A and B are shown apart, each in its own frame.
Chain A
């Protein structure tokens, strides 16, 4: 990594660096630990003393989790969420990559207009497009049919459109900094534009493709608003909708709420830790390529 410039003579500065970094890390972790602790605490004890570690016999209980699991169908909800988010991610990465490449490298009439349209697309709040989209999809016969797969498709389509502009803008930023000479020489060696894209651009911008994929996935997974709009039937419920339902039913049962938050966070956390390795690999690969 980039440690070479900072040698031993900068040790105090380095100590300060670590202090700052650790301080921020505490703010990102501690609130979650607090919620996890309290999800194991007996009803009513959260308000009196929420900092001690709940021990068996001293307020520790699994009741919150039992209640959550008994009352709600988590497995099905995870399946729905993953189906939606993985489809959205795949389509966004493929379409946005191609389009971003074309917008950076090609000169054509109307390029300015297309660029402005993409920028403008990022400003559209989803509430401003959802009602027309809903009516359109009802007319096509995919929304509000009661068919689980069609309903999921009805969520996937607008979510793809909602993530495309962001993905294109991020990818454009990175493709711009890929040196064009490489592409030129590949072309002179007989590569077609498509080969240039798949063999030069995509590997060079790999880290940013990973970034875009991760964000598309997460935004799709966590997007309460669109899902709430299209998925009305119990068997269509995604995990985010389930959490919303639990929170409206839990009332002042803070333990149940904490347990629900943990149950929703844990699987994402696992996926995240697994994917994180790939992001880091992508990032460092980018650095070596430089």
Chain B
């Protein structure tokens, strides 16, 4: 990109500095403070630090022996894989289908995006009603169809993972759908026309034109899905609270929140937050390496 337009650098000040200043004050500085907190001794939200941990990495050492954290990591990784495969996968299929039809395309877009609009608090309450043991929608429906003889406890140890992951995934399919549809609409129409002259239609068109051209957008989705999974918090929190059932239901987000705000382990919570950040950076870098976004398409 050797452009004459962008040789003069001073406009960078105007473009970049306001945003970076905001990030510096409200994101990076607090974050550095958080790292310091993770090595300090802080026993409550309002209480000042009582000096450094002894040794300074004590909280990080504790991460390795914490069995609840291990559960949280396992659940979060499952969530992450499901997010990438099902959320982005379903969204891609839906986006391609909507792109291929004329009648009703707009209606489907409106409907699919709808769950994103609703706050996780409202959705959590809604899914609590839907998965209610006694009289919830799912149990009543299955009973009515004769699939089950008695109510299923959707939040017990056998079902909780399903009950926790389904609403999270369901809600965000529409999110990736919108991003992908926007990407699809940016593909020039004449490319498709040229391809159809060459006899390239249907699935082969998707394979050789649409998917390669969607590469950058898909890459964005992948990074968003990975980092999003690490941060999932409010829906599982409203539905399950602290680690239900029986300490099996932790996610990295809910566990970190519980440690910091319910147990007052501000320093340990900060260390978990660091773990989340490091995992996010490493995993999304891997994703970016594998599916390199390219400037030439």
The binding surface of chain B is classed by DSSP as: helix
For residue B100, CB closer than 8 A to chain A, the reply is: yes
A25 & B185 in contact (Cβ 8 Å cutoff): no
The 10 closest A-B pairs by CB, nearest first: A47-B135, A123-B280, A128-B273, A161-B26, A222-B119, A102-B15, A132-B30, A290-B188, A99-B19, A132-B33
B11 & A257 in contact (Cβ 8 Å cutoff): no
- 6 A-B pairs with CB atoms under 8 Å apart are A5-B196, A21-B101, A24-B112, A127-B256, A183-B3, A290-B190
* Residues A280 and B217 in contact in the complex (CB < 8 Å), given A4-B193, A108-B12: no
User: In the assembly, what is the distance between CA of A39 and CA of B108, in Å?
Assistant: 26
* Residues A35 and B23 in contact in the complex (CB < 8 Å), given A24-B90, A27-B170, A225-B234: no
> Which B positions have Cβ atoms within 8 angstroms of A?
1, 3-6, 8-9, 11-12, 14-16, 18-20, 22-23, 25-31, 33-34, 37, 45, 90, 93-94, 97-102, 104-122, 125-127, 129-130, 132, 134-135, 137, 140-141, 144, 170, 173-175, 178-179, 181-182, 184-190, 192-193, 195-196, 201-202, 205, 216-217, 219-220, 223-224, 227, 230-231, 233-234, 238, 253, 256-257, 260-261, 266, 269-270, 273-274, 276-277, 280-281, 284, 293, 295, 297
A127 & B260 in contact (Cβ 8 Å cutoff): yes
B132: A residues at CB distance < 8 A = 47, 254
A222: B residues at CB distance < 8 A = 118-121
B5 & A187 in contact (Cβ 8 Å cutoff): yes
Residues 34-48 of A, flagged 1 when their CB comes within 8 A of B and 0 if not, give 110010000000111
* Residues A283 and B182 in contact in the complex (CB < 8 Å), given A160-B26, A243-B122: yes
* Residues A176 and B119 in contact in the complex (CB < 8 Å), given A51-B140, A131-B45: no
User: In the assembly, what is the distance between CA of A1 and CA of B19, in Å?
Assistant: 37
B233 & A102 in contact (Cβ 8 Å cutoff): no
B126: A residues at CB distance < 8 A = 31-32, 35, 261
User: In the assembly, what is the distance between CA of A176 and CA of B231, in Å?
Assistant: 27
> Which A positions have Cβ atoms within 8 angstroms of B?
1-6, 10, 13-14, 17-18, 20-21, 24-25, 27-29, 31-32, 34-35, 38, 46-51, 95-96, 98-99, 101-103, 105-108, 114, 117-133, 136, 157-158, 160-162, 164-166, 168-170, 173-174, 176-177, 180, 183-184, 187, 193-194, 196-197, 207-208, 211, 215, 218, 221-222, 224-225, 240, 243-244, 247, 254, 257-258, 260-261, 264-265, 268-269, 272-273, 276, 279-280, 283-284, 286-287, 290
B276 & A125 in contact (Cβ 8 Å cutoff): yes
User: In the assembly, what is the distance between CA of A272 and CA of B125, in Å?
Assistant: 21
**How many residue pairs, one in A and one in B, have C-beta atoms under 8 Å apart?**
324
User: Known pairs A24-B112, A118-B23. 6 more at Cβ < 8 A?
Assistant: A4-B196, A28-B114, A50-B135, A125-B273, A184-B5, A290-B186
A108 & B9 in contact (Cβ 8 Å cutoff): yes
B186 & A48 in contact (Cβ 8 Å cutoff): no
For A30, give the chain B residue with the smallest CB separation: B137
For A170, give the chain B residue with the smallest CB separation: B220
User: In the assembly, what is the distance between CA of A279 and CA of B109, in Å?
Assistant: 10
B1: A residues at CB distance < 8 A = 105, 107, 180
For B256, give the chain A residue with the smallest CB separation: A127
A98 & B134 in contact (Cβ 8 Å cutoff): no
A169: B residues at CB distance < 8 A = 220, 223-224
Q: How far is the CB of B151 from chain A (nearest CB, A)?
A: 11
Find A107's partner among B6, B14, B192, B196 (CB 8 Å cutoff).
B6
B18 & A207 in contact (Cβ 8 Å cutoff): no
For B135, give the chain A residue with the smallest CB separation: A47
